[in-house]
Each structure stands twice: as C-alpha cells, then as structure tokens.
Chain A
Amino acid sequence: MCRHPNSVEGIVFPAGYPHSTLAASATVGRVVPVLAAVLLLVTGITSAQDLEDLDKQDKPGELDILDDLNEGKKQGDLAAMRLSHLSLIDTWQAVRPERPAPEDKQKYHWANTRGTISPLGDQPISTLVQVPAKGRYRVYLRHVLTMTEKRPVTMRIVPVEGDAESTLSHDYGTIVLLDGEQGKEQEAQLPIRVESQLQLNTIPDREMAAWEYWDVELDRGAYRVSLESKKPNVQVNAVFITPSLNFRPSFSPLGKDNTLQSVFMRFRPAKALPKRTQYAVSAGLTYHWPRPTPSGEPSWGHPIGTAAAIPGDAWSPFINATDAVVPGPGPWSTCRVGLQNVREGQAEVQFAWYPHDAAVVHSLKTDIAAGQIMFRVPHGPLYNRAPAEKPRWGVWNVEHLKGVIPEEDLVTNYFNWAREAATEMGLKEDHPRPRHLLFLSSCRVGEAHREQAAEMLARLGVNWVAGAPPKVIERFGLYDESTMTKIKIGDEIATYTPASIINGSPLLLAEFRVYLKQQAELQGLTVTELFGAPTLERLTCMANLPENPGRFERRLYYHSHRFCHQATIAEYAKAVKDAESKHKNAAVYNNYSPHPVFLTGDTMNGIDWFLLCRAGAQTLGWGEDWATGGSWGLGTDRTQCVTFYAAIVEASVRKKGYPSGFYVGSNCGYSAHKIFSCVSQGIDIMHLYDWGPIDAWAEGSNSWSEAQGEYKSVLIGTHALGPADEIIAKGQRERRRTAVLYNRAHEIMNHATVRLNHDWMWTFLALRSAQIPVDLIIEEDLTPKELGKYDALYLGGLNLEQRQLKVVSQWVKDGGLLIGSGGSAMYDAYNNLNPDTVELFGARQTVVAASTVTAEDSVSFAASSIYPQAKFKVSAPSGHRYILEPTAAQPLGKYADGSCAAVSQTVGQGRTILLGFYPGSAYQAEGRALGPVQPWVVKPFLKHLGRQRAEFSYPASEVTLFEHPSGLAVMLNNFTPGSVNASSEPTQLSVATDRKISEVVSALRGPLKWKRVGDRIEVETPSAAELVVDTIILK
C-alpha cells in the first residue's frame, strides 16, 4: 500500500503530514520533485522550528489589503461593511449558463460568456435580495466601461412586497471613461472604483471592467433587483451592496488587490494568555485528493501562513488562506494549526472574506492538544454560486460554511457510529475480543482525542492500536508490540530486474551464467544441449522473445525471465540482514499490491508475490486488497477475491513458516468479509487499513473513519472471531488436500496467448465455496514431497517444466486427481509441445481458431460418475479454448458442434480430467456460487476427496475449520451475490468429529441447536439473509 508508510528515509513528518506523497512517488525519477513538495509543505505546517523562527520577527505579519488604495482611511467606515452583499449575476434568473445542458430548453434573457453577462434581448434579469437594515447603501455594478461608447443598463430595485411605486431605478453605463486620465482621476470625476493600484496609477484600457456605483436609501426588507438593457454589448458580472463608502470592491487578478474573492482566517486562544506572553500560529492544509500542479507532481497539502509575536490576549492577524482553500481539490481538506506557547485549552478560529472584523462570517472553537488544533475546511469559493431561491444577503454562502467542522465534532461522529454499531449488534461489553489474532489499525487522531479514539477502536476489536496511550493498551489488553519489530522495506515493489541491468553488470551477468548452468544440470543436460552454445560467455540475459523464436531462444528467454526475478533477491536479503542486525525480533516485509497483477496489469511478470519470502529475503509475508464491490473486487461477490489474495501471501510464507500480514482494505468496504478471508487463509496480522481519522491522511481513500458502515463491519468481523480466538490462533487449520497451481511458467511464456490467473482465482473460489480447503501452490511446490501433501490438483496454464510434469504424472499414478484446463501443460516451459501431457491426459489438444469462436459457445456434459449433467456457456477468456482428441481417455463433454470438450482417464491409482476450456471462467459467468456451474465444477473434487469435515448447506460461503484441544471452530463467511435475495431459512452446518461435544455456540449469537448424527455434529446455523460472518464453536 504505497500511500502510507509512517516514515521514509529518516524524515520524520509532523503528525498528519501527508506521507503518502513521498511513498507513492518512490520511483527514482520522481524523488526530487516530491522532496521539493515535501519541503514546501513542511514550511506551511506547524513545526517547532517554524514557530521559533517566527519569534524572531519584530512584529506580527501584516497583510497588504489595499490600504494604499483607501487613501489612508484604513479604518474609515469599514465597520459598516458588515452589512454587505455580493451577488454574482451569472446566478440570476434568466441568465443562460456558460455551458447549458444539451437538454436545456429554458428561455434566457441574458447569457454568460466567459464570466461576463450580456443581454440577448431587451428582457430583464433579476435576483432576490434581503436588505437587513434601513440605511444608505452604495450599490455597485461591475461592468465594462469604455472610452468611446456609453452602454446603459438599468437597475431596478423593487420591494418584493409593498408598493410598486417605491421602485428605485438607476441607469448605469451612461458615462464613458475619460481619455488620458489615470484611474485616480477617473474616480475623482466619475462614480466608479477601479480594482487595483495599477489601475489607479495608470491610464485605463479603452475598455475596462470597473465598479460603477449608485448611492441609494433602502428600507429593511426583501427586494427584487433587476437589470435590463437594449445594448447587446453590455457586459456585467456582479453587484455589490454596502453601506461602506471606503471599501473598494475588487475582483482584481492581482491577489493583493482582490477584496471580494479571498478567504481569511485568524486565531486566538479562547482564554487570554498570561500578560506579556506572546504566541505564534502556523497553519497549513492537508488535502485528501491530489491537487494538480504545473510540475505534474500532485500536491497533497498547501501552506496557509504563519504569524508570530502575537500578544496573548489578541487575535492573530488575518492570514490569507485563499490559495490553499479555494482551488483545493475535492470537497474539503483538513486545516492544521500549530500554536506556540499554547499547549492546551481551546482556540477560536474566525473566517472572513476581508481582513477586517466586520468581514468575519464564521467562528468556531476547538480544543487545543499539544499545541495543535485541527478542523475541516470546505473547498471552493465561498460566495453564493446558486440562484437565490429566496431573498438573501451577505458576501458568503453561510450554508457552505457548515462544512467547517472542528476535530471534536468529527471524532464525536466516529465515536457515535462505533457505539451505534455495538448497540445494533447487541454485543455486551464483555464479549470476548481477539487477543492472539492481531488486528492493527492506526489512531492518528489529535492527542486530545487519542485516548477516546483508542478505546473506541479497542471496543471494535482492534487489539493493536498504533499510537494508543499506554493506559489504554493496559486497560484493554492490547498488543504491546513487544514481540515483534515490524519493518517495512518496500511497498508495491517490483521484483523484476531488467535484463539490461543484468547485462550491464559483470557480476549479475556472471551470476546469470551460473544460473543457466544450474538449469542445464537440473535437467541433466549440458549447456550446449540446452542452450545451443558451447559456452555461456556469449549468452546474455534476454528481455523479450523475438517474433519467431527458436528453441534456444525460448529456453534462454524463459530462464532469463526467471533470473531477472532471482537477481532481485540479494538486495532484499541484504536489507533483511541489516534490519535483523538492528532490531531484535525483526519481521521484515514488503507489501504486495494486487494492482499490477490483477487490476492494472495481468501477470506476475513484473512482481512475483511468491519470490522474496520463499527466498528468505523478507520474513513477513504481506499483501493488500484494494478490493471494492466493483471492478476492484474483480467481480467477486463481496470482495471474495481477498481470499485468493490472502492465499497467495500464505503460499509465499509456507515454505519458510514465516508469519504473514495483510492490509485489509477496510477503506474499500467489506471489512468483516475480508477479515474472515484473511484469517481463513492463515494470515496472522490484519491491518485494518486504516483508521485515521480521514483528516489525518493526505489521501481520503486510505481511511475508513468516514465510512460509517465499516465500524459495524469491523465490529462483526472481530467479535465473530473473539470467542474462537484461541482455537483459531493456536489451533490447526484443517489440512488442505486440494491445490490450485499458480503457473508462472505460463505467465512468462504465454501471457499474451491467454490470461489465466483470473480463471485460477475463480476455480479457487469455486472450491472454497464448496467448503473445500484449498492451497495455492507454485511450480516450486511440484516436488514429490510437497505435492504428496495433496490429493487433488487443478493445473492451469499452457506451460510446465518437463521435470515438474514428471512429478505430477507420478503423483497421479500414486492416486492423485489432476484436473487440467484448456491447453494445460501442453507445452514445456520453452513452448515445445509436451508429448508426456498427451499421455497423462489421454488426449491431444488443438486450439479453436479465433474466427470460429462465438460468445454463445456452450459445452454440455451427460451425467456420469465424474460430472453431473450440465450445459453452460464456455465463457473462455477471449474465447480461447481447445478441442480435445482422445488418445486413451474417455470423452466426458462436448461443445455445441459436437467436438470433444472434456476427457478423463485413470492413470495408475489416480485420475486425470482434462477440460478444453476454463472452469473458473464458466463459474464466474454463470452465477458463481449460486449458479449451475458450481455443482459441476466441484463434483469431481468432492468425489475424490470424500465428504468434507465441515459442510455447510449454503454454497455462496466459505467455511474453514480450526481445531484445538479446547474445541473446534468453523468460520462462516457469506459471499451471497449482491443481486440475490438471500433466504431467511436457517442453514445447516455439519462437522465431522469424534470428539465429545457438549455445546455449540455462535460467536455472535450464542448457543445454537445441534445434534450428533454418527460421527458428525449437525448444527442449525443462521440463515443466509442474517449471516455476514460468524464462527461456530464446538466445545
């Protein structure tokens, strides 16, 4: 999970700093700009150094706010601008938007063209205004004045209720700009205000937008303000109404002169500091969505500003936050403010549209903890952007300001959601929570709320709360991190070292040649026989196959690719060694992402999930899911793909017996299902990725704190395991007698021919949904010893090394069930036809011409001792499938054209079944666990394996049995498709055991009805409609 390491290369970030930016940009070529961005951000976010530096300043930072333009009347009547109103004319009724919707048939009178509004005819446009108090107001119209042409436009102010005769009317635009006069002179002679110092001191353009005013008495009340003109070249865009004569309205593109489109903040301690105590503030924003920058590097934060040497009883100066807030990405971001000399208490924050008391629109109070405050800020311009449905007043849209939320309000929500979840579940406070299975989440909330947040997480069942106060750890018996130093050395790494690197390194090239020699020896061949060259010194590592590769080229390429991964081991091994030398109990890991294999990519050719753990070059297996209910879940129901991902991690650590962990993507939903997927595949550490709150993150998608449903989902997941914690964590997972091969040779040699890893996953999940315990294995496991642990093997992929095929053949002869899919092992690892495969399966395979493939291709099976009667669509990936020509095997199924689609034969004491297509793909396409393919897929496995120790009546679920001296536990994980209305009828669980059972309980629901029938315990379990996850405990 590239976006979230705690620290990088020794840089210690302040709390809440968007670390993810750096980690996500770990590509060598991107480090420099990212570091630059980091430095930029750090300057804008509180640090002790910032504040110390600020102390050295002589006076508080001051803002240039057109004092010079106000001709020394710095204060003047500015207090009166409290009663000001800004109305953007593009929001008025009958103004055509700049980009009207295609279906928009409304009749418009004026039109918005790039921000200026002009008449389409002589009809008026209008808006509603609520004047708050009787008085004399200056009504400004911002419009384009010229030196040559008068462009009259009439404004009418009509009371909404009352006498129409009291209508006020004024003609703007009956003046022309004075030729050759500076702005100052224009203002002296015309009823206008220009917008900038530059305009004041220079001769205007021949056409220029300016604020023409009309001073008028208005009573308190609602008015309709309208504009009309017969001149189509009239260009208006805003009306500003204020009692202040000194205030200068401005939309100047020069930021310092712009008075109406800015956002200011100021701060002070709620309680005055002791006399002569000064304080300083430093504020910055943390974005939660990437903000594009000209350099191309996304920005994850923005400094707001700093102020120092502020008297302890005074407000800080107004700090201009416009550049940070208004163009901020996404709907909101988090503002963090450091306060020097103010460690605790409360702070007040004010928001103003102009740096003046009278322009303050919004205030909040928030708790200070460790000199920090935090609050959420909405993004975008704060003035009204929508038409006035009813009369309104003011410069800003106060509704928008409701998005300003202090941290305590944010976390209160979270705490409430957690409490509501517990209440809804009816769980008691003393409900057993996991102690041995580790559930990790961070607790990045501000210090003031950390204890409460840690407690909340603990109550949710999170027993490893990073950042939890010690007393919470003690009170809840949380994992104290004493037995393991978890060290992350890489995130979403690649393991492929390019061939060019190997060829450019004399050492790696020498190692490569040694490797080639070993490969020849492994096959009992000489170098010349295998590679066609008398010596290896002229052979270099091949990056790609040529278009028409020969045998020797294919051999060299295959081993080149393998070595390109092998070559990577050494560096990671060194990192592990370094870590172990520095940290006792170091558990060193890289995190593997599914993106390059299953989402954005399609093979492990760039990143081999299995490699480093199996080579001892990392000592903790780790993966993540990023699985949502949509395409990021690979189309699996309720993110069942996580089971498969977890199985890959487990397969990577199995050889060395290392522990394993997983970033459970709680941020993507389905926490309970994912937790169960991981635990059922033997994962030890579930990092519930990750509790923020979200405002602690630079990227919103990393955090589940805003996802109310996940509080309940986490609670269910952990509490459904809590009562069985010891059985599961300390007991034995039921032996997996079935294995699914993850065929790397296929990916290396034939990934372009047909992509099969999704078929392997779907087949794996089909078996899991039939309560069949399954392991994922790789070719390295195809040894007599390892393969001997299994009774059934699903072998997909067009390639298999001949030596491994021999092992598989012998294993079948010894009694194994081998099920192959289309093209299974028909080639050796070098894409040479493998005659042994024909003998093993008793059939030849011929690929079906792409031109004859249709989406409707189907396959049918007559009822037999091996398969039930079935007919379904082939649904092969890209239509890639094979016609079988039996040589010794018996046909089992046929395609619609009558050609053979499946065969089977006995081989020694075992059996082979060869399918010309891909059962996982058919399972996926035909309703998955609740579809017609499900029973067909699993029947031969079940026939061969016999009854499973744990059987569950509802197929769209995974069942995993654990056994411990204290009892048995069966995890139930319901993956009902979202489109299915699950039955409310109870389900049935059957568990084979000869142990004495006295009680059967549901971890979440308490005692269940049960009875013993022979050697099995039959349990009435919750209906599919009620079940999310649960653990049934047999004591």
Chain B
Amino acid sequence: MIELCIWSRRQFGWLVAACVLLSVNGLQAEPPQLAVSSFALDAISLTPPTAQQVVTQLAGESWCQATATETKGAWNQVPSGVDRQQWISLVTVGFNGQADTYAFMFDGPEGAMSMAMHVPFREVWLPGGVAAWIFPTDSVLGALRVSYQDRSSQPTRRLLKLSVVPWEDAPDAPAVTKSANLDDAQTLAPELVFPPVAVMAHAAAFAAGWQPTSAEAPVSATCQVKVEDQSCSFRITLRTGAAEQTLTKLHVPWETYHEHLVRLFRFIESSHGVSDFVQVTRQPTELLSLHDGRLACLMNHELAVFDLKSGKKAWTTEPPVKPANYLPVPQYGWLKKESGEARLIRYRPTLAEFNWETGKPTPLAPTAADLRHRFSSGASGELAAANGGVVALHRQGKSVWSEKEADGVSAGPSLAGTDLIFGQATGRLVARSSKDGKIRWQSRLPGSLYGQIVPAGDSLLIFSNAAEALIAVDIAKGTTRWQCDVADVLLEAPVVVGNQVLLVTKGNRLLLVELASGKIHKAVTWPTWLVSASVINTRPKPLLACADLNGAVTLLSLSDLETTRTFAVGAQLNGPVLLADQLSNAWPLPQAAESEENLLAEIKSGPGKSGPALMAADVQGFIYILPLSNSE
C-alpha cells in the first residue's frame, strides 16, 4: 500500500482555477487546430509564458490542438504561412501593479479583429509580505477556451478602422502643462509605453462593441496617446462620413488604461447619452446625495463628498493614515430634511449627521441603527431609532424615551403625526406616542413586516415580506384598509405620487397603486433586474430614473410609467441615479498640485456645457454624467 498525500488544504482559494475543464458548450467533434504566438509587451517584472509553454499547457486539454508559432512580426500581424482562422496572438501588457493578457484573432472581414479575450491580473501577495507576479495560466487558458468557443455567438460589430498614434498637439486641444512637472515627467520611455497601449486600445475598442481593423471601414477612429509620468492622456476622434466626435481623457493612471479606453470607445458615440465619466476609486461606488453643488457617495466603504465645481474631494471619512486595525464604519446614508435638503447620516456605531461643508459629525442619538429604515426624523427635530428590540425617541441628541420590545424591529420606525410606528417580523405593527412612548395601538398583520413605513395621508403604508404585499392601515387605529399583493419584495420604499403609490419590486415590476383602494393602476414588467429606481425632481414633472442590470438608465413618466428616454451606460451600475439641476457635461479638471496625489482621472468633452444632468455610478468606481438637456 502506498499512501500519498498529493496536496492538502483547507481553503480552496484561487487555486481552484486550475481545474480540469468540463465542457462549456459541449465538446466539438474535431478539436480546432490553433497556432499560438506569444508577445510580452509588459513594462513590469513579469515573464509571460512563451508560445511553446502555452502550447504545452493546452496539450493537457482536449478542446483544441495547438502548435507554437514563433514570429518576428507584430502582435496583430498574422505570420506568413499561418491560417488566420487558426492564429491566436497572446499578448501580455502591464504597468506598475496591473497586468492584462489578451488573446486576439484576426479572421474578421479584411483581417479585422474577431476575438479579444481579456484577463486582467495583479501582483499576488505571498506569505511574508512579498508581492510577486504569477501568470494566471489557468485563468488565461480557460478564458481563451470560452472566448474561442463563444465567437459564433458574439453580437454583430461595426467595423472600425483604428489608428493609434502619438498625441499631436492641436490648437483646440486641451491645455496641457508644458513644464516638466510630475504629470509630464516620464518614468517610462514612450517607446516602452506606446506599443502595449496600442494593444489595449484595440482590445478596448473591441470590448466597446467595435471590430477594429487596419483596413478601410465606414467608421474610423484615431486614438492619440500622450505618454506621461505613470499615466497617459488619450484623445479619440471618431469619424463617420463627415461627422466627427472627439473624446479626451487626461492623465489616466497606469493601472486603469483598459477600463478607461473601453469607456472612451463606447461613449465616443453620443447616442449612449454619457457625456463624461470619472473613476474615483477602483471599488464599487454608490451615489448617496447631491446637494448644494456637492456629491456625496460611498467609496471604499467610506463617505466621500466631492465639490462638483472643482471636481475635488471636499472631505471624506476615510482617514489619511489608517491604523493597522482600522475598520471603516460600515454604513452611511442620507435622509431628506423636512425642507427637502439632504442630510448625511452615519448609521453605526452611532447615529450622527455630517456637516455638508466640513464633514464634521454631530451625534443624533447615542444608539446604533444598522439600516436606513430603522430610523427616521420628524418635523420638530425628533429622531426615532430602532436597534434590535429597543425603540427610542431622541431629540437634539438626547433620549426622550426608550422601550424594549420582546421581538426585534424589522420595519420602521416612522414618525407620523404624534406617533412613532414600527413593525416586527412577527407581523405586529405598533404605534407608540412620540411624547412618552406609550402604546397607542397595535395590530397584527401578515408576518415579516419590513422596510420603511410611509405615511400617506391618513394611512400608513407598510410592506409584508411574507405576504409580498403592501398594506395600508389606518394611521389612527392600525386597522387594515387594503392589501396589494405584488408577488415579490420591494426594491425601494413605496413613494407616494399624488393619489398613487409607486412600488418597485425585485421581481422586475413597477407598479402604480391607487392610494385610496390599493388597486393596481399600472404595472410595467422590466426586462431584467432593476438596480435602483429613483424619483427625480425634473421640471416640469418629476420622473422615475431606473438603473438596471443591463447598464441602462431609463427615465419614465411617473403618471403612466411610459419610457421617456434611455441612457446606455453599459456598465454594472450600482446604487441610485441622482439628478443635478445644473451640472457641467464634463467632470471638472482639477488643478492638480504637485504635492497632491491626484487619483482622479479627468475628461474634457468639448466646451463645458452645463444643464440638468443625471449621475450614476458603477461597481468599478466610475461615476457617469448623463445630460438631460437634449431631451428637456
């Protein structure tokens, strides 16, 4: 008997990518013959595999047969004697802490690019705090297989004659500092930067929906690249017949070329409705509120407020230096004051309100409330909070009363009139007097009451997750007036719109319900998941702005839920869409000081028009500007 331990581990982790491939689309009868060339164009200490090494790895897989093809030609130049339908050009680029491996094929019309697989990767931290580049062979080969086998199901692309050239200053080009400052000092020679950036530009164009080619095409684009210190500036000009559009992006950091170039190539066409974008972090970002020329958002699990005139971060809760055991406060949010102004709130560890100007927190209640719907503020400065089973009313940061409930609060509390209303998972709905906390009434509803309790005239609107229904109760007695079944839970709290209630469910439905009867007046089924649905106070009438899984932002009339306009952002959107009454089409270009680390990328999109605009954010930390002026 031989007992061997081939490996042993508790965590599967990243090694799992080293799996034997099971069929994704079914094994083909005849495995394709591939000819693989490998190009190392990175500017980092990474050694990508040679063509032969790739072929050796592929030999262990059954989906293709591959041979190594050495070539002295370019990454996009099919070697002589090689069938372009078989040639895979594997290119690895990389700058600083980011590397990208692409696999291209060029068997489209006139040799146009027909595949552009992309696998980004970063340094891996090894035990002992050592960072190392480890080529993600399994991930790349897996992606190659998926991309190769998916080629037939790719959407139709428009041919784009693409040229990537050095930036040529022109009279109308945006001003770029001529002096030798940090932006212009080049830590990498342009000869090292330009070739990999050219590769990325082609791949990005492909990812944005184009089919780049060097041959003539109805649409052409020139991507000008200016190499700077740890960044590049890009200027893309798109020509369709006589029409020409230009989009510029200055000082794009090394590690984000691909992400920016994809968006540049996508939004160069104004039909998407995006006039500008900025990446404020590489983590998911969620917009919270726009108020007084400032944009509050959550990034890196911290509250950050940007001045929209300067584009600079006005303040943030993220400390400049984080202690080793630093943990960000997990939840922030915003409330509307009675005046309509926004209030920035920290939920934990205590409820506190931030000053918009300075970021200084003012404690509201010496209690934690861990979700937005578990506190609310009243007309006279009261704040109701529920924390677990404790319901309390505070005024000016001081406790007025506090009551312990046997079961936790899952809905509300809400301050309505002179009462504080809350609901529980058991279905119990309770009204306590704001004055002294005594129970005024309580009633039993279907279980799992959840979310905000919305006062609507002489009714309260409350949602039951168990019944998947909105319930209206008499605000004075708690008796049920009507129940409206909606067949899923709510994505957003109910919004009273005139004599109707707007409901947005996670079951892809938008509903207008009659406030008086609970009858569904209008229902719209959305084709995919809704990410957010926000009522925006556009003039003359407010609209509903819906962001969805497909990356679309759609405006709908609140009266009949008819679509009025759609913006095709195309990214994985995150959080609500906000309206700015007056916003420049372009994120302002900060005047970067040499002593200041400028992590923002900026864009200049023609002359700085301004007007009402929407703002949306995505999971990669991009914020988008969607001007409304064209339709208003």
Judged by a CB distance under 8 angstroms, whether A29 is at the interface is yes
CB distance from B455 to the nearest CB of A (A): 21
Closest residue of chain A to B124 (Cβ to Cβ) is A28
Contacts of A488 in B (CB 8 A): 3-6, 8
Assuming the contacts A548-B451, A548-B465, A550-B491, asked whether A497 and B16 have C-beta atoms less than 8 A apart, the reply is: yes
Assuming the contacts A538-B528, A570-B19, A571-B20, asked whether A494 and B128 have C-beta atoms less than 8 A apart, the reply is: no
Judged by a CB distance under 8 angstroms, whether A486 is at the interface is yes
Judged by a CB distance under 8 angstroms, whether A735 is at the interface is no
Cβ–Cβ contact B7 & A534, under 8 A: no
CA distance in complex: A508, B21 (Å): 9
Contacts of B22 in A (CB 8 A): 511, 570
CA distance in complex: A484, B3 (Å): 10
Cβ–Cβ contact A32 & B528, under 8 A: no
Cβ–Cβ contact B117 & A506, under 8 A: yes
CB distance from A503 to the nearest CB of B (A): 11
CB distance from B357 to the nearest CB of A (A): 32
Closest residue of chain B to A513 (Cβ to Cβ) is B24
Closest residue of chain A to B149 (Cβ to Cβ) is A510
Judged by a CB distance under 8 angstroms, whether B549 is at the interface is yes
CA distance in complex: A579, B22 (Å): 19
CA distance in complex: A514, B450 (Å): 35
The B-contacting residues of A in range 489-519, CB under 8 angstroms, are 489-498, 501, 504-508, 510-511, 514
Cβ–Cβ contact A26 & B7, under 8 A: yes
Cβ–Cβ contact A497 & B12, under 8 A: yes
Cβ–Cβ contact A8 & B142, under 8 A: no
CB distance from B396 to the nearest CB of A (A): 30
CA distance in complex: A539, B529 (Å): 10
Assuming the contacts A533-B528, A548-B451, A550-B488, asked whether A487 and B6 have C-beta atoms less than 8 A apart, the reply is: yes
Which of these, B12, B450, B529, contacts A533 with CB under 8 Å?
B529
Contacts of A73 in B (CB 8 A): none
Judged by a CB distance under 8 angstroms, whether A165 is at the interface is no
CB distance from B268 to the nearest CB of A (A): 23
Cβ–Cβ contact B8 & A26, under 8 A: yes
Cβ–Cβ contact A498 & B13, under 8 A: yes
Cβ–Cβ contact B506 & A493, under 8 A: no
Cβ–Cβ contact B5 & A7, under 8 A: yes
Judged by a CB distance under 8 angstroms, whether B82 is at the interface is no
Contacts of B17 in A (CB 8 A): 501, 504-505, 507-508
Judged by a CB distance under 8 angstroms, whether B285 is at the interface is no
Cβ–Cβ contact B16 & A501, under 8 A: yes
Which of these, A487, A505, A574, contacts B2 with CB under 8 Å?
A487
Cβ–Cβ contact A506 & B10, under 8 A: no
Judged by a CB distance under 8 angstroms, whether A31 is at the interface is yes
SS class, residues of chain B in contact with chain A:
loop
Judged by a CB distance under 8 angstroms, whether A485 is at the interface is yes
Contacts of B50 in A (CB 8 A): none
Cβ–Cβ contact A575 & B6, under 8 A: yes
Contacts of B138 in A (CB 8 A): 505, 507
Cβ–Cβ contact B128 & A549, under 8 A: no
Assuming the contacts A538-B549, A549-B489, asked whether A507 and B3 have C-beta atoms less than 8 A apart, the reply is: no
CA distance in complex: A135, B447 (Å): 94
Contacts of B527 in A (CB 8 A): 534
The A-contacting residues of B in range 523-545, CB under 8 angstroms, are 527-529
Assuming the contacts A28-B11, A511-B22, A567-B16, asked whether A489 and B6 have C-beta atoms less than 8 A apart, the reply is: yes
Cβ–Cβ contact A547 & B371, under 8 A: yes
Judged by a CB distance under 8 angstroms, whether A220 is at the interface is no
Cβ–Cβ contact A849 & B407, under 8 A: yes
CB distance from A633 to the nearest CB of B (A): 23
CB distance from B557 to the nearest CB of A (A): 24
CA distance in complex: A247, B508 (Å): 90
Which of these, A30, A547, A571, contacts B16 with CB under 8 Å?
A571
Closest residue of chain B to A487 (Cβ to Cβ) is B4
Which of these, A2, A538, A549, contacts B550 with CB under 8 Å?
A538
Judged by a CB distance under 8 angstroms, whether A573 is at the interface is yes
Closest residue of chain B to A847 (Cβ to Cβ) is B447
CA distance in complex: A487, B8 (Å): 12
Assuming the contacts A32-B126, A501-B16, asked whether A532 and B489 have C-beta atoms less than 8 A apart, the reply is: no
Which of these, B11, B127, B506, contacts A494 with CB under 8 Å?
B11
Contacts of A568 in B (CB 8 A): 12, 16
Contacts of B19 in A (CB 8 A): 507-508, 567, 570-571, 574
Contacts of A947 in B (CB 8 A): none
The B-contacting residues of A in range 8-25, CB under 8 angstroms, are 8-9, 23
Closest residue of chain A to B490 (Cβ to Cβ) is A548
Most buried by B among A494, A496, A548: A548
| B342-356 to A contact mask, C-beta < 8 Å, 1/0 | 000000000000000
Judged by a CB distance under 8 angstroms, whether A27 is at the interface is yes
Closest residue of chain A to B463 (Cβ to Cβ) is A548
CB distance from A518 to the nearest CB of B (A): 12
Cβ–Cβ contact B507 & A552, under 8 A: yes
Cβ–Cβ contact B24 & A489, under 8 A: no
Cβ–Cβ contact B7 & A490, under 8 A: yes
Contacts of B143 in A (CB 8 A): 505-507
Contacts of B25 in A (CB 8 A): 514
Cβ–Cβ contact A505 & B127, under 8 A: no
CB distance from A471 to the nearest CB of B (A): 18
Judged by a CB distance under 8 angstroms, whether B395 is at the interface is no
The B-contacting residues of A in range 367-422, CB under 8 angstroms, are none
Cβ–Cβ contact B13 & A28, under 8 A: yes
Cβ–Cβ contact A494 & B16, under 8 A: no
Closest residue of chain A to B119 (Cβ to Cβ) is A506
CA distance in complex: A479, B1 (Å): 9
Cβ–Cβ contact A548 & B450, under 8 A: yes
Judged by a CB distance under 8 angstroms, whether B178 is at the interface is no
CB distance from A687 to the nearest CB of B (A): 10
CA distance in complex: A573, B529 (Å): 36
Cβ–Cβ contact A552 & B506, under 8 A: yes
The B-contacting residues of A in range 543-565, CB under 8 angstroms, are 547-553
CA distance in complex: A718, B24 (Å): 50
CB distance from B208 to the nearest CB of A (A): 16
Contacts of B242 in A (CB 8 A): none
CA distance in complex: A32, B129 (Å): 11
Which of these, A33, A510, A549, A567, contacts B127 with CB under 8 Å?
A33
Cβ–Cβ contact B16 & A8, under 8 A: no
Which of these, A507, A548, A583, contacts B139 with CB under 8 Å?
A507
CB distance from B85 to the nearest CB of A (A): 22
Judged by a CB distance under 8 angstroms, whether B14 is at the interface is yes
Assuming the contacts A497-B16, A506-B143, A507-B21, asked whether A532 and B528 have C-beta atoms less than 8 A apart, the reply is: yes
Cβ–Cβ contact A484 & B507, under 8 A: no
Which of these, A30, A33, A551, contacts B488 with CB under 8 Å?
A551
Judged by a CB distance under 8 angstroms, whether B593 is at the interface is no
Cβ–Cβ contact B528 & A491, under 8 A: no
Contacts of A553 in B (CB 8 A): 506
The 9 closest A-B pairs by CB, nearest first: A550-B506, A507-B142, A481-B1, A851-B406, A570-B19, A506-B143, A5-B5, A574-B20, A32-B127
Given contacts A487-B3, A490-B8, A506-B146, 6 further A-B contacts (CB under 8 A): A501-B16, A504-B139, A533-B529, A538-B529, A552-B529, A578-B6
Residues of A whose CB lies within 8 Å of any CB of B are: 2, 5-9, 23, 26-33, 464, 466, 479, 481, 484-498, 501, 504-508, 510-511, 514, 532-534, 538-539, 547-553, 567-568, 570-571, 573-575, 577-579, 583, 833, 846-847, 849-852
Listed by A's residue number, 21 A-B pairs whose Cβ atoms lie within 8 Å are: A23-B8, A26-B9, A30-B127, A488-B5, A504-B139, A505-B16, A506-B147, A507-B142, A507-B143, A507-B145, A508-B16, A508-B17, A510-B24, A534-B527, A534-B528, A538-B549, A549-B489, A571-B16, A577-B20, A849-B407, A849-B426
